[in-house]
Amino acid sequence: MIRSMLGRTHIALSRSRLAVAIALKMRNQSEMILARYLGQDNRRELNGEKQLIDLIAPASHSFIDVGANVGDWTELFLRAGDGKQRGILIEPSRSAYAKLEGLFCGNAMIQLIHAAASDEEGEAVFHEEAEAGETSSLLPSWSFSATEAVRVQVTTVDQEVARAGWNGVDVLKIDAEGYDLHVIRGARHLLSEKAIGILQFEYNDPWANAGSTLAAAIALLEGCGYKVFLLRTTGLHPLNYKRWGEFYRCTNFVAVSPQKLSVVSSLLNSEI
């Protein structure tokens, strides 16, 4: 009875342009509230990211930073570690890469790759913001400021690990401004072998432009035997996808291989 009444009400309201406009506004504001609850903040000190780094870095000997930008994440990771970590930094932006060279060119443990990362090797058009802009992207419609279209080399995580002669990698961090799922697919071989211990990726607005979904990322990672968690200041939470669905707002997710669950056990928390 109640469901039938609601159905008739929805039909009636859908015929009102004002009601539809209000519903759209309410939906947008509701999504922002939900996003703040799930993602909390984009600052590492306030969204659980630094807490995760401080926990996993001391137990990690190798890492890859995809979308390294100017090296902020890598510097935090190295400071939290034992000084013996070897790393691969992948960054396509010319201005950001120049800053990485200034920071790490004398560090024999750090390898810099001037390229974008995706699910196959080749070339692509990269939309680069000036001054190492953080929303430079392979997506033409995402950047927040004016961009310059430049052709860049494209690599994969699988290929770079093979070139480095590594058997695997303890930590893979991905911040590819919408192309995160493509990067994950480019690590499919390593994932299938559970040769990546912990994988962190950002999920945000440009995923929709890239044709990517959180559902696809979770399916791929769980299919390889990983546990996937939402990262918050309250720890690592399993996400009830059926409840939340796709929300395309800035949040961080962490996939953990079975052998690394003990490393993050102190952060494991209840399902959201």
pTM, rounded to two decimals: 0.92
For the chain, give the mean pLDDT: 92
Q: How far apart are the first and last CA of the chain?
A: 31
List phi, psi (to 5°) of 3: -60, -40
Give the residue ranges of the chain where pLDDT is below 70.
1-2, 6, 40-41, 144-145
Delimit the domains of the chain by residue range: 1-39, 41-119+156-267
- pLDDT value of position 144: 67
Tokens of 31: 């999504």
Residue 45 neighbours by CB under 8 Å, 6+ apart: none
Dihedral through CA 190, CA 192, CA 196, CA 202, nearest 10? 100
Q: Are strands 110-113 and 235-237 parallel, antiparallel or unpaired?
A: unpaired
CATH 3.40.50.150 fits 41-119+156-267, yes or no: yes
For 41-65, b where at least 16 C-beta lie within 10 A, e where not — what string? eeebeebbbbbbbebbbebbebbbb
